[in-house]
Amino acid sequence: MKSNLLSLLFLVVLATSVSAQQNLIPFAKPIIGTEKMGHTFPGATVPFGAVQLSPDTDTIPYEVNNRYNKDVYKYCAGYQYDDKTIVGFSHTHFSGTGHSDLGDFLVMPTAGALQLNPGTEEKPETGYRSRFSHATEVAEPGYYKVKLEDHNIVAELTTSQRTGFHQYTFPASEEAHIILDLMAGIYNYEDKNVWTFVRIENDTLVTGYRQTNGWSRTRTVYFALSFSKPFKQYGANDYSKKQVYKGFWRKFDQTKNHPDLAGKQLRLYFDFETEASEKVKMKLALSPVSTRNALENMQAEIPHWNFEQAKTEAQAAWNKELNKIQVQTINEEDKINFYTAMYHAALMPTLYMDVNGEYKGLDQNVHQAKDFVNYTSLSLWDTYRAFHPYLNLINPKRNGDIVKSMLAHYDQSALGMLPIWSHYANDNWCMSGYHSVSVIADAIIKGNANINAQYALDACVATARKRSYEGIGYYIDLGYIPGDKNGTSVSSTLEYAYDDWCIAQLAKHLKREDIYQEFSKRAENWRNVYDKRIGFMRPRLSDGTFKKDFDVLNTEGQGFIEGNAWNFSLYVPHNPAAMIALMGGEKRFTEHLDSLFTMDLPDAFFAHTEDITREGIIGNYVHGNEPAHHVAYLYNWTSKGWKTQERVRMILRHQYHNGSAGLGGNDDAGQMSAWYLFSALGFYPVAPGSDQYALGSPLVKEATLNLENGKTLNIKALNQSDKNVYVKSVMLNGEKLTGNFIKHADLIEGGNLVFEMSSKVPK
Amino acid sequence: MKSNLLSLLFLVVLATSVSAQQNLIPFAKPIIGTEKMGHTFPGATVPFGAVQLSPDTDTIPYEVNNRYNKDVYKYCAGYQYDDKTIVGFSHTHFSGTGHSDLGDFLVMPTAGALQLNPGTEEKPETGYRSRFSHATEVAEPGYYKVKLEDHNIVAELTTSQRTGFHQYTFPASEEAHIILDLMAGIYNYEDKNVWTFVRIENDTLVTGYRQTNGWSRTRTVYFALSFSKPFKQYGANDYSKKQVYKGFWRKFDQTKNHPDLAGKQLRLYFDFETEASEKVKMKLALSPVSTRNALENMQAEIPHWNFEQAKTEAQAAWNKELNKIQVQTINEEDKINFYTAMYHAALMPTLYMDVNGEYKGLDQNVHQAKDFVNYTSLSLWDTYRAFHPYLNLINPKRNGDIVKSMLAHYDQSALGMLPIWSHYANDNWCMSGYHSVSVIADAIIKGNANINAQYALDACVATARKRSYEGIGYYIDLGYIPGDKNGTSVSSTLEYAYDDWCIAQLAKHLKREDIYQEFSKRAENWRNVYDKRIGFMRPRLSDGTFKKDFDVLNTEGQGFIEGNAWNFSLYVPHNPAAMIALMGGEKRFTEHLDSLFTMDLPDAFFAHTEDITREGIIGNYVHGNEPAHHVAYLYNWTSKGWKTQERVRMILRHQYHNGSAGLGGNDDAGQMSAWYLFSALGFYPVAPGSDQYALGSPLVKEATLNLENGKTLNIKALNQSDKNVYVKSVMLNGEKLTGNFIKHADLIEGGNLVFEMSSKVPK
């Protein structure tokens, strides 16, 4: 009673101190993007939390008959809106990625005869899974609810940072079960489970871990699971195809009430007797370090069994996060898109540290995060573009911690490299470039990194000089990666050139002239893969000639990663002016760009292209994948900046919708959403690492940015409407801007940024 | 230079402070027992050290064509004297066990073309292994040396507690290699390797771990490896039958100079260029916790590259250990047997704790050993008999630490049980009984345990009441385990009865009357499996009747574990007098015992009997396995105590020899050797848990026991000779003993124990 009163008091105080806050929970819709290729998850989590407790609608095998199962891609987030059944609720999910892993610790409540296998979507009654309907489904930030029809159980989920909180309302049953499936997982190839270990500590507490060889090569997640009510009995089965060595463990019947379990493919069940509408609750906390830490996390974060309180706290955390920007929009759909984008841009990276500050590093040793919060799951090829700049604007402290996490990764890396895709004490090496350097340069240059900047620069340089990594040796020696040596030679050359420019900018900032010279020179390397004769970037071979039989539309085998020459040829974010000049000047360039947005692509294109969908494309402009995210803003470097305004408004309207199928492509760890957020506010960071934003066409009517420095930036779009997409003038604190750009340093001083909108193309 | 001088000074001081010490290194021969079934290893270690760095002469697969490979049993210690080749030197070995595991981190230096497979004994040139000859082999406590003939390399090994130190003298070679085989292991079944992880930290330092599912179900050993000289290059191969998931790791050529490796079946090589007679040195330290701790262990224990100094320190540790008993013997063979027994009785259990006090517990969490040294590898079914009582006499501090290790195990056990066979953060559950209780009772009753004795008693009781473990429920309900419910029903009933007596004794000592009553009653349960009609212990069925078709010689399927009715029927160590009475009184009992030692066994017996060999048998008395180890002393409970003297002397002479085949059976973690040590000193603990030793026939002429309490016990055998096996009189500090027994409490007061020997049977 006392603690409840205290909690209540706390909430009252909290409510008072955030009295200026609006309740924005109704506008952030986790369900958006859960259909088709959005790859978002609908379940419960808190901002950047370590736990993402969410329903999985299928457990898809990675291979069928020894062949890669293409459907695996659909289930990156475990959930597809069209599916008719829920297999269970697992505790870890990526948001919006195009590759996956995770799905740890799948839990499913059932009633009736025990079934330990999941069953099939066609015949859910053959297993523990259940039919469900969207009619009973509630998906809010920090809260998820659904009725499991086959079992007549209502499941509710909420979380704290490291702890999932389940509340299951059972029917009256003498055979109520909670299943813990340690075999289930996302991207679930055979042998992914390296080892699992479980201890039944007492009749309400279970601990253990699961070690996987997945997208993260060597990953172990520890858990502590607590039930609100003692189970009557429990049991387990090991479904390993090849049984693990048992030795004298054969003395025990390990399938029933045996508290000490280990193996490769374990499923457990816990039996209860329930009265009608009885709520059985369960908390499952994670740790990257140990079961002891997992239990400590649980006890520190949710020491009680009050589900409503936990939900209230989770949603309070979301309201705090979402209130960093308060907007007024033309219509409610825009407001929902805006706050859903803010929601999606606060799911990754994820907290990777216990309440005591411990985490497991790349060397598999336990490290203590001193003076920073450690994060993992950095999908940097996606997020360096707009997501990290977005954090620098609205959440700089967190981005500073992410930079520190990257430097800790560098310190622990056997290769001596900054992360490519930092993933639970591993690098999964996904995608190309070394875009950590962009994030670091952008943070330091924008004054947001309480770090040893010289050391950070050294880390950037060491990474960029790693000759053995993805053609860097060739790139250093020849100024480009030869197409006969590497399959993504052009895109990597282009990305390295941009990253090198970031290093150069940072070196300049830190007065390291030698580094500045070296990397300024490297930053020009994009020129070496431009074929003037055809006006496109093109693979160049070791002998200096260009690849023959070159297809500017094809995304495969042409030297580009997840893109074609049309999109990637525009990838010189750090020097659009020089690129335009090389491409023949403004007129030819503008025509080229216009064609990109308006051309018709053949159907065959979509059949052969990974990570690019028809929904994500406008003409041949691929918004559904990242390489062209800056492209619509390039008109700003011509005299036709209004074309950027037109295109940006079109993309905002065309690629983002309310509803489960609302995202045109993978949300990619928040990058797609961060593009939306910047663009909706009226500006975009074309080249992170510079202090400059290119202007676009704001979608909001008004926005208040509550900056961390205590200042407030008010953005107004006068005469805003669906027709008025053009910007007649921009005033910052009463002064009219003369160019198409605005400085970050000016924005964070706060004040008023006023766009005057018009339906007419400016002269 | 400075540190060398300091070390020298240290050694001088050390030498001064132990000036009374003799150099006993020449008398302890690690090679004894390495042929046939002794299962000892010849390599280097320090007393109770965590590292046992020893040559493996074959890497035997557990299965061949899906059938168990019987030869696996031969290689419990990795080495068989008759073999002609050495595969490499691995860092962990059990001593004398009849089951195995370990063989971690096999290292082999080679010269010439690189071969990463071990090759075969018949054609060693097809792999990295090498022929060797015993002529070039030196095996001393703390030091091993051999010439690897195929590579013309002299290998020398020494260790500290947690660190193996290799010194390889190479020929001139441009192709000198050191191979690190992480696939190799002892008891090497497929899928035993769960995961391995390796980092090349720099050109002299390598770290990593190996996780196995072996006799210890979930075991991970971490290492740090340092070379005295930078390698030129390195590489690795993963030999997994099913390749592990690689993802974007495919970007890297992981076979050459790639510093970040993981997989299931890894072999690595490190390349050097060597001059003639160049010594390349290597240190490999272990940790049960982390690579960080492994490196810390190495730096704390052997911070230098002076192999001779490390060897000197290892041998100084051995001399200190061996000098705890200084003996004079009839001949040198006896002295060698004695000190080799002391050596073998100081190899297990092994240190299981880092220099910083950390170790991994059964819950897989990292624990800190506070105020004790933590040990693992407690082969208790073997060692409770004489080994732990031996430590209580000569090394009580260490035995106290072992008891504390057992209680820590209990604290961490999911089952709430004391260890059966404590094994690297696991219990492998090997053999029967719950003999931890014997060790605990013996230590406390002998005044040697600085522990919470009441808590220890609670742990004993909890273990003994664990109904789900090996028939305990039946045993509690019926007073015996029914033969139709359990395959080793008789031996377990007998062992539980003895263990229960130990608990009763401890309860009495601690004035816990209820426990004393309960377990005194249970201690009588041996009576329930005695079949008066045949005069043997015999399986009793659930209905109370005895098993039909009973074979008193057969060791299989008759209700006994590793023994037959002849041997096990004498297993009432806590109450021989009552057993003798039940068996029909002194005359019939003596005849029975005489028969045991003199009968002829059919050849078929040996073909079907595990862990019992012809060498280990006298008549039907099985000395090569433990259940009968107390039997020769049972004559003391009759009027014919001299028969004990005769038999004991015969066993000492018959079962222990110099030479590689010198042990008649598995040394069993020092139990066989501890039997020898007690018996050679003239007394034996028939029932650990009592303060009483039964007298036998000493083999030594004189012995000085330097007790830890600062006192000295001098044992003299007057008129000692090979013929004078009978004891005419025994005087303790001038007072003549009247019975056949002597008290521990009296012995540890020190003084003089004088046996007068004679060739005549006493009247």
- Asked if B666 and B672 count as a contact pair (C-beta separation under 8 A), the reply is yes
Residue B227: pLDDT above 80? yes
Q: Could you give the percent of chain B with pLDDT greater than 90? A: 89
pLDDT in tens, B314-329: 999 999 999 999 999 9
Confidence of residue A1 (pLDDT cuts 50, 70, 90): very low
What's the pLDDT at A2?
Answer: 46
Q: What is the dihedral of CA B552, B555, B559, B562, to 10 degrees?
A: 130
Residue B602 DSSP class:
P
pLDDT on residue B763: 76
What distance in Å separates the CA atoms of residue B582 and residue A668, rounded to the nearest whole number? 81
Residue A277 has phi, psi (to 5 degrees) of 65, 20
Which alpha helices (DSSP H) does B537-602 contain, by range? 565-568, 576-582, 586-598
Residue B335 to residue B141: CA distance in whole angstroms: 15
pLDDT tens track for A552-563: 999 899 999 988
Q: pLDDT tens-digit profile of B409-462?
A: 999 999 999 999 999 999 999 999 999 999 999 999 999 878 899 999 999 999
Inter-chain residue contact B259 with A414, CB threshold 8 Å = yes
Distance, CA of A97 to CA of B275 (rounded, Å): 55
What span, in angstroms and rounded, lies between the C-alpha atoms of A142 and A145? 11
More reliable by pLDDT, B614 or B93 = B93
Would you list the DSSP string of B78-116?
Answer: S--TT-SEE-EEES---SS-SS-----SEEEEEESS---
- Model confidence pLDDT, tens digit, residues A355-404: 999 999 999 999 999 999 999 999 999 999 999 999 999 999 999 999 99
Q: Do B217 and A192 touch (CB under 8 A)?
A: no
pLDDT tens digits along B14-36 = 433 333 889 999 999 999 999 99
Question: What is the band of A56 on the pLDDT scale with cuts at 50, 70, 90?
Answer: very high
Calculate mean pLDDT across residues B195-220.
97
Element (H, E) at A68: strand A67-68
* Chain B nearest-CA residue for A199: B414
Contacts with A415 from chain B: Cβ below 8 Å: 259-260
Give the HSE-up count for residue A521: Cα atoms under 13 Å, Cβ half-sphere: 10
Beta-carbon separation of A217 and B192 below 8 A: no
Looking at beta carbons, which residues of chain A come within 8 Å of B213?
Answer: 195, 244-245, 262
Of A194, A257, A428, the CB nearest to B194: A194
Between β-strands B712-718 and B751-758, what pairing exists: parallel, antiparallel or unpaired? Answer: parallel
Distance from CA of A660 to the nearest CA of B (A): 30
What is the reported pLDDT for B189?
84
Q: Shortest CA distance to A663 belongs to which of A1, A29, A3?
A: A29
Residue A19 pLDDT > 50, yes or no?
A: no
Lowest mean pLDDT among A566-570, A667-671, B105-109, B165-169: A566-570
Chain A residue whose CA is closest to B365? A290
Is B195 close to A218, i.e. CB distance below 8 A? yes
User: A190 to chain B: which residues are within 8 Å by CB?
Assistant: 242
Nearest chain A residue to B367 by CA distance is: A292
> Helix (H, G, I), strand (E, B), or coil: what is residue B212?
strand
Is the Cβ pair B199, A414 closer than 8 Å?
A: yes
Sequence ranges of chain B with CATH classification 3.30.2080.10: 325-758
Q: Complex ipTM, two decimals?
A: 0.95
Contact in structure between B229 and B275 (CB atoms under 8 Å): no
The residue of chain B nearest to residue A200, with distances taken between CA atoms, is B414
* 3-state SS, one letter per residue, for A266-281: EEEEEEEEECCCEEEE
More confident residue, A63 or A356: A356
Residue B702, pLDDT score:
98
Q: Is the pLDDT of residue A170 over 60?
A: yes
- Residue of A191, A242, A414 lying closest to B201 (CB–CB): A414
Q: Which two tokens stand for residue B126?
A: 């097809």
> Does the pLDDT value for residue A315 go beyond 80?
yes
pLDDT in tens, A318-337: 999 999 999 999 999 999 99
Task: Kindly identify which residue of chain B lies nearest to residue A191, measuring between CA atoms.
Answer: B244
Q: How far apart are the first and last CA of chain A?
A: 69
Q: A456-515: per-residue pLDDT in tens?
A: 999 999 999 999 999 999 999 999 999 999 999 999 999 999 999 999 999 999 999 999
**In angstroms, what separates the C-alpha of B675 from chain A's closest C-alpha?**
27
Measure Cα distances from A35 to A45, A81, A149, B371 in Å: 19, 5, 21, 59
Which of B251, B252, B268, B428 to probe the A interface (max A CBs under 10 A)?
A: B251
Q: What is the pLDDT of residues A679-699, one digit of tens each?
A: 999 999 999 999 999 999 999
> Which residue in A195, A213, A291 is closest to B365 by CB distance?
A291
Specify the residue for token string 């130990």: B502
B337: left (phi over 0), alpha (psi -120 to 50) or beta: alpha
Mean pLDDT of B667-672: 98
Using the CB atoms, write b or e for B487-510: b if 16+ within 10 Å: bbbbbbbbbbbbbbbbbbbbbbeb
Residues of B in contact with A207 (CB under 8 A): 363
CATH number 3.40.50.1980 given to A30-321: no
- Give percent above pLDDT 70 in chain A: 96
Residues of chain B with CATH 2.70.98.10: 2-321
Question: How many CB atoms within 10 Å of residue A172?
Answer: 13
pLDDT tops 70 at residue A591: yes
Chain A residues closer than 8 Å to B292 by CB: 363, 365
pLDDT single digits (tens) B530-562: 999 999 999 999 999 999 999 999 989 999 998
Q: From chain A, pick out residues whose CB is under 8 angstroms from the CB of B288.
A: none
A197–B430: do the CB atoms touch at under 8 Å? no
Point out the residue among A244, A251, A428 whose CB comes nearest to the CB of B248.
Answer: A428
CB A214 within 8 A of CB A428: no
Q: How does pLDDT run across A711-743, given as a tens digit for each residue?
A: 999 999 999 999 999 999 999 999 999 999 999
Give the C-alpha separation, A750 to B108, whole Å: 67
pLDDT, residue A611, reads 67
Residues of chain B found within 8 Å of residue A201, distances taken between Cβ atoms: 414
Of A19-23, A307-311, B448-452, which gets the smallest average pLDDT? A19-23
Q: Which of B206, B242, B248 to mutate to test the interface with A (most CBs of A within 10 A)?
A: B248
B613 pLDDT above the threshold of 90: no
Interface contact A248-B430, CB threshold 8 A = yes
Of A192, A260, A429, the CB nearest to B415: A260
Contact B192 A252 (CB under 8 A): no
Which of A215, A218, A415 is the closest to B197 by Cβ? A218
Q: Between chain A and chain B, how many beta carbons pairs sit less than 8 Å apart? A: 125
Q: What is the mean pLDDT of chain B?
A: 95
pLDDT of residue B608: 65
Q: What's the pLDDT at B610? A: 63
Q: Do A259 and B195 touch (CB under 8 A)?
A: no
Nearest residue in chain B measured CA to CA from A293? B365
Task: Dump pLDDT digits (tens) for A75-129.
Answer: 999 999 999 999 999 999 999 999 989 999 999 999 999 999 999 999 999 999 9
Q: Which helix (H) or strand (E) holds A314?
A: helix A307-322
pLDDT-based confidence at residue B61 (cuts at 50, 70, 90): confident
Of the candidates B190, B247, B259, which has its C-beta nearest A215's C-beta? B247
Residue B87 has pLDDT above 80, yes or no: yes
Closest-CA residue of chain A to B195:
A194
Closest approach of chain A CAs to the CA of B534, in angstroms? Answer: 31
> Which pLDDT band, with edges at 50, 70 and 90, does A607 fall under?
low
* Gap between the Cα atoms of B586 and A131, Å rounded: 77
CATH tag, A325-758: 3.30.2080.10
| Residue tagged 């003369």 (tokens) | A738
Residue B600 pLDDT = 86
Question: How confident is the model at residue B12, as a pLDDT?
Answer: 43
**B657 to chain A, closest Cα gap in Å:** 33
Listing DSSP states for B511-553 in one string gives T-HHHHHHHHHHTTGGGGGEETTTTEE--B-TTSPBPSS--SS
CB-CB neighbors (< 8 A) of A288 in chain B: none
Give the pLDDT confidence score for residue B450 in this predicted structure.
85
- Asked if the model's pLDDT at residue B121 lies above 80, the reply is yes
- Find the CB nearest A197 among B218, B244, B251: B218
> Is the CB of residue A76 less than 8 Å from the CB of residue A59?
no
pTM of the model as a whole: 0.95
The model's confidence at residue B607, banded by pLDDT at 50, 70 and 90, is low
Rounded to the nearest 5°, which phi and psi values hold at A65? 50, 45
Are the Cβ atoms of A245 and B195 closer than 8 angstroms? Answer: no
B211, amino acid identity: Q
Chain B residue with minimum CA distance to A259: B414
Mean local confidence (pLDDT), B644-667:
96
Q: How confident is the model at residue B347 (pLDDT cuts 50, 70, 90)?
A: very high
The closest CB to that of A213, out of B207, B245, B290, belongs to: B245
Q: Which of B290, B363, B430 has the CB atom closest to A199's CB atom?
A: B363
Per-residue confidence at B4, pLDDT binned at 50, 70, 90? Answer: low
The highest-level CATH class for domain B2-321 is mainly beta
Tell me the per-residue pLDDT of A629-662, one tens digit each, with 9 for 90 and over.
999 999 999 999 999 999 999 999 999 999 999 9
